[in-house]
Structure 1
């Protein structure tokens, strides 16, 4: 029997009504895996390929044949907007079969939730945070709600692979399954997975099942891709030059930017009139600034405002207004957004996406590109790379257009190798351990230490956490009154802990953007979110400052003014650049390839960058003398290996090399002064690399590197251990040092 014939009649009718002439390859493969195996399933196919229907057609067919007597399937989506979008799509499909579809998140009416609690059935669509709240507050009802749960569908599964939120989702699925006495099959959906086997193993954690990963041959997709470079001030790279312009049809002006406009933002303004577009930026702050500038241009040109804004810190009303306008086929407006519109919500027929500067990952580039190209149009993305023109006497590393090179590298890695970042599954998630410990205690009530450990440490995500680590955590939580002992020797949530677990903010494990006030002596400079640890730099009030102290309780940052540039933020996703990307960037500077998507300014700027690289030798020699005792190291390492090398140099090598004034631009280069020769530098690195190294030695003496939401409630030793063993990529750093020394030895031998 073919897959279409196996579908329930109401599913077949739905397909006829939508005038689908045949099933897509993903739908056939998913039907085969779901109908004919009892395994978990990972469906990876391009955006808008019908993955959601591919998963739900067979699930709904099975439900129509044997209706579940509780909620039968949970759909976990990473965003409320995605849940709302899929809710409408699934409702149409399920209406005829009388299979209820429920959605549950912070913006859903209590009356809707109450109906589900009274009549648990059908499909529940929910975010990880709302599922946490459900387990916490409806603990006694979990068995009634889910005792016949058969499937958990995780949408955009790649977005949960790189941090605590994915770990939380895994923990929630395991906790719910144990409480309800079920072992549902898991079905992961994604358009951008690099390591399918690793993701399949992640998806199956704790289920005792394998994961079926259908290999789907897809037809090549044609892209409309362009990349242009702009100096924010002054003459552009290609001015006065005869440069072939790629894709000339993309350059036709649709209107004119105001005189003296920022050229890059003006270019976006020019090419969005009468079109429905998205403009992606890499931070909330940039999102606000770009939207404000574009709206000012509308005022100057006496035009109606045609720009919307969408990011995670806006109210639901603002976000939903932007989503509704983008879905309206009659409206031609442009939305400036962060990653919040990167994921699977269908916002209709988008004509093109813009990307300001380079995203951090290939995955992010593909997701953003995939927002366009629906309804049989080719995906279309325009990169807009902006930089200040290098000063005449600028030092070598600052004259390289890093964002342009990074953008080219991301595109080339996918075009040539189909490479996407693999999952990070080897972390030490102590912040999440605190969260799940407190959540388990708050929902279950009193538990003995052994019972608590058996519930928490058996969760598969904590496979690297030892019993000794857990004892250390519990002793600390007792000392700060987050938990307390009862007369019977059991553990309950303490008074200080109740303040945390009773807040709605507790459901999320990602950082809210809490603002910290920045002070210099008696002056207040402004506010920032997610302050870096002491010793790092920040930019505020038009200057660069070094952080002296962070007071997390009072949300204060104390700093001193310094000169220089601010290194890139390093966190879970922002700034999390893989070593493979840096190595491809090096190749971009080395090779003579012409990339067909580069526009005239970008072609000229790349040509200049390659000329600089060739003359300086920066792609051949990792260490370059900038003049006198000033040196620059180009490691071509990803964020976490770069961070390890930076600390290795400061802590282990600096005393031997009289190395001072280290100034990093992560993860591109490190500048410093050194009273030693190049040969001595590599000799010392080699000698120190060969010595035993405990990663904890790379944490600064008074540093407590807090990056995750609940780090402030952890004992210092666990914060340091989690950072040293779970974040710093020390093996990668050591391999690079050994590689340098092998190359030096090879060069010496060649010259004999």
Structure 2
């Protein structure tokens, strides 16, 4: 029997009603795996390829044949917006079969949650943080809620693979399964996975099952790509002043941007007119600044405001209003956003995405471009690269347009090799270990040290943690009153630990800054970090506000709207760039070929950069003399291998080489003064690389490198060990030093 005929009648009706002429390959493959095996399943296919339906059509069919006696499937999504969107889609599908769909996160009403607790059934959609809260506060309900749980679907699984949040998700699934006495099958969904086999093993950890990974041949999808470069001030590289002429082959005739407009923002202002677009930026500060500028242009031109804003620090009402407007097919507005709209939420028929400067990963580029191209339109992305014009006397590395070269490298890696970043699963997750220890103790109550260790260290994500490391952690937590010993010798949450576990912020393992809620009269605008004094201005929600009152005890800021423009600040947002991208950047500077998506200014700027690279020799010789005793090293290494090399040179080689004034522009180049010659530099590096190296030697004296959210609660020895053995890219660094010989 073919897969379509195997589906439940209401699903076949749904397919007919939506005028699907045939099932997609991924839906056939998923149906075969779910119906005919007991394997876990990893579905990797492009955005809008029908992965959600591929997973849920066979699940719902099995439910109609044998209805679960509890929640039968849990859908874990990384964002509340994605869950809200999928909730509507699944509700429409399940209504016919009378299968309830529930969603559970911070914005869902308590009455709705109470109804689920009273009648556990159907499908539960939840974020990792809300699932943590559920296990923590509804511990006694877990067996009844999930006693017949059969499937766990993890959407956008790639977004959980590069840090503690993915580890937390895996721990949550294992803890829930043990408490409920079930072993549900796991289904991972993603459009951008770099290493399918590693991800499949990660997905199956602790289940005793294999992971089926159907090989879906991608069709020859057509992309519409362009990349343009702008100096913030001054003549452009191609000496083209007129924004409206910059992209004639894609856009036809348009009006001009405001006089004296920022060239990059003016370009975006014009080419979003009359269209539904997304503009992606890499930080919330940049997002706020761009929105304020674009709205000012509307005001200058006496046009209605046509720009929305969406990022993680905005209030729920602001975000949901923007999402609702974007779904309206009659509204041709542009939303300026960060990664919050990068993932799967369906925001209707988008015509075009803009990316300001290069994203940090190929995965992010693919996700962002995948926001467009639905409803039979080709995916379309316009890169807009900005740069301060280098001064005539600027030193070599500053004259290279790094973001332009990075953007080209990202595109070429995927075009040529279909390469996407592999998951990073080899860290020593001590911060998460603290978090899961506290969660387990808070939910289970008093436990012996042996029982706690057995419960926590049996979670598969902690396979690299030794018993000795865990004993060290527990002793430290007792000494700092995070946990407390009872008279009977058991362990419970201590006074200091209570302050942590009782906060709603404890559910999350990703790092957050101390935030203040900003209000204008009764309206909540969002949150900021480090509020300025009364009378100063802040930027939020694409507008400027003057601070009228700051309540530090309640973390509240009261303000009123004014005109103007000020920078926003939400805290640090560093990016992790893979070594493969840096290596491809070097090739971009070496090769002479042109790229069809580059526009006039970008072509001219790339030509300049290649001439600079050729004359300096920076792509052939890693160490370049900038004059006198000033040197520049181009290692072409990713962020964490670069960090290791930086420390290796400074700590192991610096004194012998007479290094001083070391200045890092991670991960592109290192500048330093050196008394030794180039030959001595490479000879010493080679000799030191051959000697045994304990990664702990690359931590500075007295340094405690707090990297993850809960590192501050760990013993310093574990923080240093986690950084040295889990963060620093020692192996890549050593391989690069050997290649120089």
**TM-score when scaled to structure 2?**
0.92
Change beyond 3 A, Cα 1:79–1:515: closer
What is aligned with 1:713?
713
Secondary structure at 1:464 match in 2:
coil
Q: Which residue of 1 aligns with 2:567?
A: none
Deviation at 1:515, TM superposition (A): 5.9
2: CA distance between counterparts of 1:684 and 1:740? 12
Q: CA deviation at 1:252?
A: 3.3
Aligned to 2:340: 340
Match of 1:551 in 2: none
2:78 is matched with which residue? 78
Deviation at 1:593, TM superposition (A): 1.1
Residue 558 of structure 1 is matched in structure 2 by none
Q: Is 1:166 paired with 2:146?
A: no
Q: CA–CA distance in 2 between the matches of 1:247 and 1:461?
A: 49
Q: Secondary structure at the match of 2:684?
A: helix
Classify the secondary structure of the residue corresponding to 1:175: helix
Cα deviation, residue 464, structure 1: 0.6
Q: Which residue of 2 aligns with 1:494?
A: 494
Q: Secondary structure at the match of 2:308?
A: strand
Output the CA distance in 2 between the equivalents of 1:234 and 1:450.
68
1:574, CA displacement in angstroms? 3.9
1:142 and 2:142 equivalent? yes
Q: CA deviation at 1:234?
A: 0.3
**Which residue is equivalent to 1:350?**
350
TM-superposed deviation, 1:528: 6.5
For residue 307 of structure 1, what is the aligned residue in structure 2? 307
Partner of 1:203: 203
1:366 aligns with 2:363: no
Deviations 1:503-537 (A, max 9, x none): 10110111123269xxxxxxxxxx978xxxxxxxx
Corresponding residue of 1:412:
412
Q: Secondary structure of 1:84's match? A: helix
The alpha-carbon deviation at position 239 of structure 1 amounts to: 1.0
Q: What SS does the corresponding residue of 2:481 show, helix, strand or coil? A: coil
Q: How far did 1:217 drift?
A: 1.4
Matched, 1:582 2:603: no
Are the equivalent residues in 1 in contact too, given 2:513–2:571 (CA < 8 A)? no
Question: Which residue pairs with 2:227 in the alignment?
Answer: 227
The secondary structure found in structure 2 opposite 1:43 is strand
How far 1:246 moved relative to its partner? 9.5
Mapping 1:87-102, distance limit 5 Å: 87-102=87-102
| CA deviation string 1:3-39 (max 9, x = no partner) | 0000000000000011111001110010001101100
Give the C-alpha shift of residue 254 in structure 1: 3.0
Return the alpha-carbon distance in structure 1 between the equivalents of residues 626 and 169 of structure 2.
49
In the TM superposition, residue 90 of structure 1 has moved relative to its aligned partner by 0.3
Distance in 2 of aligned mates of 1:30 and 1:102: 23
Aligned residues of 1:350 and 1:372 also touching (Cα < 8 A): yes
Q: Supply the distance in 2 between the matched residues of 1:246 and 1:410 (Cα, whole angstroms).
A: 23
CA drift of 1:219 comes to 1.1
In structure 1, the residue matched to 2:398 is: 398
SS of equivalent to 1:19: coil
SS in 1 for 2:708: coil
Give the corresponding residue for 2:674: 674
Residue aligning to 1:548 = none
1:575 CA displacement: 1.5
Match of 1:14? 14
**1:163 offset after TM fit, Å?**
0.4
**Structure 2 counterpart of 1:535:** none
SS in 1 for 2:303: coil
Equivalence for 1:29:
29
CA distance in 1, matches of 2:247, 2:209: 49
The one-character-per-residue Cα deviations of 1:59-83 (angstroms, maximum 9, x if unpaired) are 0000000000000000000000000
Displacement of 1:438 in angstroms is: 0.2
Paired residue secondary structure (1:641): helix
Instruction: Encode CA deviations 1:465-518: one digit per residue, 9 max, x unaligned.
Output: 1111111111111011010001110000001100100010110111123269xx
User: Which structure 1 segments of 5+ residues have no match?
Assistant: 517-526, 530-554, 556-568, 742-752
- In the TM superposition, residue 598 of structure 1 has moved relative to its aligned partner by 0.2
Deviation at 1:218, TM superposition (A): 2.2
Equivalences for residues 423-462 of structure 1 within 5 A: 423-462=423-462
8 Å CA contact 1:355, 1:381 repeated in 2: yes
Q: Deviations over 1:553-598 (max 9, x none)?
A: xx9xxxxxxxxxxxxx999x84210000000000000001110000
Cα contact 1:264–1:386 (8 A) shared by 2: yes
Residue 290 of structure 1 corresponds to 290
Q: 1:514 to 1:252 in 2, by over 3 A?
A: farther
Does residue 381 of the first structure (1) align with residue 381 of the second (2)? yes
For the residue of structure 2 that corresponds to 1:619, the secondary structure is coil
CA shift for structure 1 position 329: 0.4
- Secondary structure of 1:471's aligned partner: helix
Q: After TM superposition, list the pairs within 5 Å mapping 1:342-741 onto structure 2.
A: 342-514=342-514, 574-741=574-741
Q: What is the deviation of 1:240?
A: 6.8
Gap change, CA 1:652 and 1:444, over 3 Å in 2: same
- Cα deviation, 1:692-732, whole Å, max 9, x if unaligned, reads 11101111112111121111111111111111100000010
**CA deviation after TM superposition for structure 1 residue 619, in Å:** 0.2
- Whole-angstrom distance in 2 between the partners of 1:246 and 1:595: 17
Q: Partner of 2:583: helix, strand, or coil? A: helix
Contact 1:254 1:272 in 2 (8 A): no
The match for 2:121 is: 121
Between 1:292-301 and 1:591-600, the stretch displaced more is 292-301
Q: CA deviation at 1:247?
A: 6.7
Distance 1:392 1:650 in 2: 31
C-alpha displacement at 1:299, in angstroms?
1.0
Kept in 2: contact 1:255–1:273 (CA 8 A): no
CA contact (8 A) 1:247 1:597 kept: no
Give 1:257 deviation, angstroms: 1.2
**Alignment of 1:261 onto 2:261:** yes
Take 2:725 and 2:296, find their aligned partners in 1: how far apart are those partners?
48
CA separation in 1, counterparts of 2:607 and 2:215? Answer: 40
Deviation of 1:396 (Å): 0.2
Structure 2 match to 1:747: none
Root-mean-square deviation (CA, aligned residues, Å) is: 1.6
Q: How far, CA to CA, are the matches of 1:281 and 1:475 in structure 2? A: 44
Is the contact between residue 401 and residue 609 of structure 2 (CA under 8 Å) also seen in structure 1? Answer: yes
Secondary structure of 1:576's counterpart equals: coil
Matches within 5 A, 1:52-67: 52-67=52-67
Of 696-705 and 669-678, deviating more is 696-705
User: Deviation per CA, 1:28-59, whole angstroms, max 9, x where unpaired?
Assistant: 01000110110000000000000000000000
Aligned mates of 1:208, 1:55 — CA distance in 2: 21
